[in-house]
Amino acid sequence: MQNDSFENNEVLFGADTTEGIVALELVDDREMRLFIRSSEGITAIDEPFTPFLLVQDFELPEGCKVNYHIEPLAGDNAFKYLVLFDKWMDWNRAKSYVQRKSGVTASSPIAPYLLSNDPVHQFLLLSNKTLFKGLNFSDLHRVALDIETACAAGYEFSNPLRKEDRIISIALKDSRNREEFIFAGDFEERAMLERLNELIAEIDPDVIEGHNIFNFDLEYILARAAMHKISLTWGRDGSAPKVRKSRFSAAERSIDYTRVEIFGRHVVDTLFMLYFYDVSARELEGYDLKTAARHFGIAPQGRTYIKGKDIMWYWENDPDSLRRYNMDDVTETLALSGLLCYSFFLQSKIFPYSFQNIFVRGNATKINSLFLREYIRQRVSVPGAERMSGIEGGYTDLFIQGLVKNVVHCDVTSLYPSIMLTYEIKPHRDSLDIFLPLLKELKEFRIMAKRHAQDSPDTREREYYQALQQTFKILINSFYGYLGTNIHNFSDPKAASKITKIGRSVINNILTFMKEEGATPVELDTDGIYFVPPENLSTDREITDLTERLSASLPEGIELEMDGRFQAMFSYKMKNYALLDNSGKMTIKGAGLRSRGMERYLRDFLGEMIKLILNDRSNDVKGVLDEYMDRLEKHEIDISLLAKTETIGESMESYARKVSLKKRNPAAAYELAMNSDRDYRAGDKISYYVTGNKKRVTVYRDAKLLSSYDPEAKDENAPYYMSKLLDIYNKFKKFVNPQ
């Protein structure tokens, strides 16, 4: 989807027109190396780097024994002075100096100075350059990496710190269709890693990507390389990767991960893309690669599947299947990235961050960076963040629970952004007036992508545009969230409150209109309304006419459109529901209906029960329950479906100390690890099941390792698992026919 006028917006895309930048790195303390891609390949160009910080008082850096230059900024906002330095080392000294002198850390909302610790971000802010100008996504050279590993006897999961564990295969596939496979049958592990060094240098990718690549593949490779005393020369300058602990967040989900930085390249985890996608979609059954590939229909034809516990057997007995399995993993990774990564590629053309950092910066932080870049470019002073008072939320309501047939969903097209544009609500300190024009451009782009998603006859293309519009939906909705923050420079809580007040009025008007037309509302929130149309309306055209009449009754600039029609909806609680479309496909949304904390047999039962309810066969639910109960009582359900898998997150010593001090409760995974004759470490995973013959048990005392399960003994606790199943059933019993 090309939109030349969209990319010509200097405030949105940066005023500098340098094309082809695929990466930037600080070199020699005073220069930034730009890696430029053209038809001839990669060229490295060094440009002067001027680190800076913003201060409220020009006297603040006085006394710091480094060279600096101060430029006064126009206007009366708090940060009135731009302080420029000759080199990065001087900037670091000045940063420490102003922190000591002011007695306030940079993260404090009352700090009299403003800075970024990222030299690439600083360079892009001051230069107005952005990555990927003039490039298409297909121009980006990406390589997917995936490893398979051995696991010592007696353990369930491979651990790179165990000497007897090792890498047994490495698969690489790039966006130009080059495939490479390194197999332990051909190389010792040390030689495998040396060959990997050679291949990364040969392929010379801009991006190295993988699924859970940070917390598994790269972490494992780095640990084994250290064990063999091998330097991983992956940087475009031949340097080794840099590693540090970091944290990633997408909505309510946060994970700690091992961040890996490679000179001149970006490392991208497709797992992060799935988390972002599901923030608004709320439809993924799981975040593992195979589940995602099946969901999006991108699994290769004849895809090879091997269970984790069987990897060792295939290594020893059927290496050809292991190779196919490993190569299918990288094929799926590339396809998943190709589907979900374009929006982040486009964001890298907009925001002054490296491609790798686009994935880990919050949307409000990205929006703030656009303000900073333009205000610095025009040499206008920057305000400090306003303290936030309480902001009333939007109007949400649930009118019907249970099975509802013939349901329509109408979507309010970006309600809060539309209100901001229609009523011209913006930060009161935005003297350059850039907030609303930026929002308008992004909203129009999102609407364009959404229309492509609805109109495209090609399934893959629809999925692509759907992922794109969902990402930009989150981004433009973040303009409202930005106003309500207390940490960003142009926040405006009063403006945010005004928006929600108007929003509640609009939603109430929608509700009133629907009731007057004879429609029955099911669920209502700021995204739209699920409703049962009036009995006299049956065709799509008639329902579309109803939607268009409603849209015409709303304030100008605020639009409502029919977003979907469904055979049935199971409404459980707010933002927790299941839909059955006209093709028979079921979609479940909300953690209350698909918690990944449940054992697999419970998720399977819940899915079957919901499907029966949606198909108006709730009378059959009791039969399914009885079947599950009977199979549990007879020990006929596979033990893997009853087991839980947990990760050891701290040392045994730390765990034991906290338990003794009553700072945490005992946990089954740790107790099993401590009582094992194996040397479990932080990062190991443990799968366990519960034994006994009573439904009330103390799990950490009655748990056993899944690997120790004896199919002949059948010692899984049937009453315990039956009780958990009944608990799930009883939660939903009121939605099932009492008969």
pLDDT recorded at residue 116: 94
738 pLDDT exceeds 60?
no
Q: Write out the E strands in 467-583.
A: 520-525, 528-532, 560-573, 576-581
Q: Are 496 and 483 in contact (CB under 8 A)?
A: yes
CA 450 to chain CA mean position, Å: 20
Where is 267: in which H helix or E strand? strand 266-269
Q: Which pLDDT value is given to residue 562?
A: 85
Domains of the chain (ranges, CATH numbers): 4-132 (3.30.342), 137-345 (3.30.420.10), 397-592 (3.90.1600.10), 601-735 (1.10.132.60)
Q: Which two tokens stand for residue 213?
A: 């690549």
SS3 call for 596: coil
Closest CA to 354 of 27, 131, 49: 131
pLDDT given at position 19: 96
- The DSSP bridge pattern shows strands 68-72 and 266-269 to be unpaired
Nearest to 154 by CA among 723, 573, 669, 707: 707
Beta 520-525 vs 528-532: how paired, if at all? antiparallel
Question: Does pLDDT of 150 surpass 50?
Answer: yes
Q: Which of 105-109, 134-138, 428-432 is the least confident region?
A: 105-109
Buried-exposed string 472-490: b where 16+ CB fall within 10 A, e elsewhere? bbbbbbbbbbbbbbeebbb
DSSP string for 643-659: -EEEE--S-HHHHHHHH
Nearest to 568 by CA among 578, 576, 577, 580: 580
Q: d(Cα 399, Cα 269) in Å, to the nearest integer?
A: 40
Sole residue written with tokens 């034994």: 691
Looking at per-residue pLDDT, the higher value among 451 and 634 belongs to: 634
Which DSSP letter does residue 308 get? Answer: G
pLDDT tens across 203-216, in order? Answer: 999 999 999 999 89
Mean pLDDT of 100-104: 95
Confidence band (pLDDT; 50, 70, 90) for 200?
Answer: very high
* Mean of pLDDT values over 321-341: 96
Q: What is the pLDDT of residue 591?
A: 77
Give the angle subtended at the CA of 246 by the CAs of 683 and 190, to the nearest 5°.
Answer: 55
Query: Which pLDDT band holds residue 486 (cuts at 50, 70, 90)?
Result: confident
Could you report the per-residue pLDDT of 19-70, keeping only the tens digit for each?
Answer: 999 999 999 999 999 999 999 999 999 999 999 999 999 999 999 999 999 9
How far apart (Å, rounded) are the C-alpha atoms in residues 505 and 222?
A: 56
Q: Tell me which of 253 and 322 has the higher pLDDT.
A: 322
pLDDT tens per residue across span 507-528: 889 999 999 999 999 999 877 8
Looking at residue 594, its pLDDT comes to: 77
Residue 421: pLDDT over 90:
yes
154 vs 185, which has greater pLDDT?
185
Confidence of residue 2 (pLDDT cuts 50, 70, 90): very low
The C-alpha atoms of residue 538 and residue 531 are separated, in whole angstroms, by 13
Q: Decide: 667 and 695 in contact? Cβ < 8 Å.
A: no
What does the pLDDT read at residue 628? 97
Q: Which residue has the higher pLDDT, 196 or 450?
A: 196
pLDDT above 90 covers what percent of the chain? 69
d(CA 64, CA 51) in angstroms, rounded, equals 15
Identify the band that residue 460 occupies on the pLDDT scale cut at 50, 70 and 90. Answer: confident
- pLDDT level of residue 133 (50, 70, 90 thresholds): very high
Contact 248, 255 (CB under 8 A): yes
Task: Please report, as a single letter, which amino acid is at residue 128.
Answer: N
- As a whole number, the mean pLDDT across the chain is 91
pLDDT for 275 equals 87
Q: Which residue has the tokens 């329509």?
A: 408
Q: Determine the pLDDT at residue 411.
A: 84
Q: So what's the pLDDT on residue 648?
A: 80
CA 50/CA 126 separation, integer angstroms: 8
Flag whether pLDDT at 390 surpasses 70: no
Euclidean distance between CA atoms 308 and 216, whole angstroms:
14
Please list, residue by residue across 427-462, b when 16 or more beta carbons sit within 10 angstroms of its beta carbon and e when fewer do.
bebbbeebbbebbebbbebbbbbbebbeeeeeeeee
Q: Dihedral of CA 279/284/287/292: which sign?
A: negative
Q: Measured between alpha carbons, how far is residue 86 from residues 54, 66, 67, 70 in Å?
A: 15, 9, 7, 12
How many residues does this entry show for the chain?
A: 739
The answer on pLDDT for 91 being more than 90 is yes
CA dihedral (101, 107, 112, 116) positive or negative: positive
Which pLDDT belongs to residue 716?
A: 96
Rounded Cα–Cα distance for residues 547 and 409 (Å): 10
pLDDT score, position 283: 73
- The answer to whether the beta carbons of residues 20 and 133 sit under 8 Å apart is yes
Confidence of residue 389 (pLDDT cuts 50, 70, 90): low
Is the pLDDT higher at 525 or at 117? Answer: 117
Quote helix, strand, coil % in the chain, to nearest 5: 40, 20, 35
Instruction: Please report how many Cα atoms fall inside a 13 Å half-sphere around the Cα of residue 49, on the Cβ side.
Output: 26
Among candidates 407, 413, 452, 416, which has minimal Cα distance to 436?
Answer: 416
Give the pLDDT confidence score for residue 681 in this predicted structure: 63
For residues 479-492, average pLDDT? 89
The label of the residue with tokens 């930037």 reads 24
Q: How confident is the model at residue 461, as a pLDDT?
A: 82
pLDDT of residue 352: 97
pLDDT digits (tens, 9 = 90+) for 637-675: 999 999 998 878 778 888 999 999 999 999 999 999 888
pLDDT digits (tens, 9 = 90+) for 529-583: 999 999 888 888 999 899 899 888 888 888 888 888 999 999 999 989 999 998 9
Backbone angles phi, psi at 201, to 5 degrees: -65, -40
Task: Supply the pLDDT for residue 651.
Answer: 80
